[in-house]
Amino acid sequence: MKRILVVGAGGQIGSELTTELRKRYGTENVVASDKRRPSEEIAETGPFELLDCTDRDAVKRVVQRYKVDTIYHLAALLSAVGEKNPLLAWNVNMGCLLNVLEVAKENNCAVFFPSSIGAFGPNTPKDNTPQDTIQRPNTIYGITKVAGELLCDYYHQKFGVDTRGVRFPGLISYVALPGGGTTDYAVEIYYEALKHGKYTCYLKPDTRMDMMYMPDAIKAAIDIMEADGRKLIHRNAFNITAMSFSPVEIAQEIKKHIPDFVIEYDIDPVRQAIADSWPNRIDDSAARTEWGWEPEYDLESMTTDMIEKLSSKLSIKL
Ligand code: AKB
């Protein structure tokens, strides 16, 4: 049985991933950690450690105390917030990853690293973006993701650390909110549609990006760590996607459930420029071939589920 440490367990991915890992591997075998105390569900249903991953000794202490053999390293600043404080984004995103990789090397741990569609840039092919292609991002977030992919491959090749990763698209969930990304609109729109019947979007109506519903993202993170390493040609990191849509298309889908819903636009130039530099739709055939990746949800099934779950969470009757 694996002994897992989740770094950043209180975040958008971490809170749902921790719950699923505990179901699969047993509560006692999954240590949640975060800089701040997360929800009761995470902090009180299994082992929890307050952990600042910029402190390498602290990471090492937790790994050794719980005899961890697999680390899911999720702590990072996202794209939009990174542009507000590039130095902090570099220090947190690279510093924490380096600490995790060093501790993993010394303690024989496997590492999951979440890269992103943000690892691509304005001169990457926009449609059917290949697995192996030009990666010259122009955001600090993207730069840390490309450097992170390379660093993970380096630790694998040079020190034999079992590093694996995926390039996540925008992630949509009704459990925890994302914090400071460019794709956050695709979560906010459901909350605002249900609460106010109206949403003001900070991206232009036709801005197309890859997206994924959280249950598929959790499945991907677990499946890639379970995959047979001998079959992996790539490692850091695999393109994965589930759907690709624009604000106008998600709004149309929401209108099928909330007919009076209205979307308006007030463009944020910073987030628009980031979104314009990312692909329209990536090609995830390497992940499908090498470890059997296959998403379950598309825009229609995700919207039905989001509206059902979120209206019950917010106690809103449709
Ligand atoms: C962001 O928008 O920054 C993230 C991502 C796509 O990596 N959601």
Tell me the domain boundaries of the chain: 4-169+213-239, 170-211+242-279+296-313
Task: Among 109-113, 118-122, 138-142, 175-179, name the one with the lowest average pLDDT.
Answer: 175-179
Residue 151: φ, ψ to 5°: -65, -40
Sign of the C-alpha dihedral, residues 98, 103, 108, 109?
negative
pLDDT in tens, 148-162: 999 999 999 999 999
| 66, 141, 190, 199: the active-site residue | 141
CA of 71 to the centre of ligand 1 (A): 21
pLDDT value at position 42?
A: 87
pLDDT in tens, 29-84: 999 999 999 888 888 889 999 999 999 999 999 999 999 999 999 999 999 999 99
Distances (CA, A) of 190 to 139, 153, 200: 27, 37, 12
CB 106 within 8 A of CB 60: yes
Nearest atom in ligand 1 to 178's CA: 8
Nearest atom in ligand 1 to 118's CA: 7
CA of 275 to the centre of ligand 1 (A): 9
Ligand 1 binding pocket includes 212 (Cβ within 6 Å): no
Q: Is beta strand 170-172 parallel, antiparallel or unpaired with respect to 209-213?
A: parallel
Of 78, 79, 102, nearest in space to 13 by CA: 78
CA of 318 to the centre of ligand 1 (A): 30
User: What superfamily does domain 170-211+242-279+296-313 belong to in CATH?
Assistant: UDP-galactose 4-epimerase, domain 1 (3.90.25.10)
pLDDT in tens, 244-295: 999 999 999 999 999 999 999 999 999 999 999 999 999 999 999 999 999 9
CATH of domain 4-169+213-239: 3.40.50.720
Q: Which two tokens stand for residue 217?
A: 């993202």
Strand locations in the chain (E): 4-7, 30-34, 48-50, 70-73, 110-116, 127-129, 163-168, 170-172, 198-201, 209-213, 238-239, 243-245, 262-265, 281-282
Q: Does the annotation mark 141 as catalytic?
A: yes
The residue whose CB lies within 8 Å of the most ligand 1 atoms, and thus the one to mutate among 139, 141, 143, is 141
Ligand 1 binding pocket includes 78 (Cβ within 6 Å): yes
Q: What is the DSSP letter of 233?
A: S
- Measured distance CA(49)–CA(64) in Å, rounded: 13
